[in-house]
Structure 1
Amino acid sequence: MADDAAERFTVLFRRHHARVRAYVLRRTDEERADDVVAEAFTAAWRHIDRLPEDPLPWLYRAAHNCLNNDRRSRRRRDRLAGRLALHHEDAPDHAAGVVEEVRLREDLEYGEREEAVLRGITARRRGRWRLERNRRSRLRWALPGTAAAVSAVAAAAVVVAWNAVAPGSIPEQRFVTSGPAHAVLMAAAEKADRTEPKRFWHAQGEVGEVIQRDHRGHRYTLLASFPTETWLPRDPVDGDGVHSYDLGSVRLRPVSPADAREYRLDGSPQPNENPDPDAGVAIPDVPEGPRPDDRVFEGDPARLPTDPARLRTAILTWIRDRGGLPEDPDAWLFREAPNLLTDPVSQPSQRLRAAVYRMLAGLPGVRDMGTVRDPLGRSALGVAMDETSRDLGTLQWQLLLSPSEDFLMTTRAVVVRPGTANSRVPAGTAQYYTVQRTAGWTDTPPARRLPGARR
Structure 2
Amino acid sequence: MNRTERDVMRRLAAARPARLDPAVPADPGVRAEELALAMSGPPGASGVSPRAVAVRRVSPRWGIGLVSAAAAAAAAVVATLMGPAGDGGPGPGTSREAAPASGRDFLLAAAVRQEADGGGTDATGAFWYQRQRHGSLHRVEGGDGKSGGGGGYTVDRRSDSEYWLARDADRRWSRSTAAGTRPATADDERAWRRAGSPRAWDVAGSFEKLTRDDTALITQDAPGGATDTMPMGDLEIAELRALPTDDKALRERLHELVDAEYNAPPDTLRRLVAAKALEIAVGMPATPGLRAAAYRLLAAEPGVRSLGGTEDRSGRRGDGVAIPDQEAGTEQRIVLDRRTGAPLGTLTAATRDGHGRVKGEIIEYTTMVGQSWTDTPPPFDRDDQREMHIPYDPRKKPEPEPEPVRTARD
Provide the TM-score with structure 1 as the length reference: 0.45
Q: Which has the higher contact order (CA 8 A, sep 6+)?
A: 2
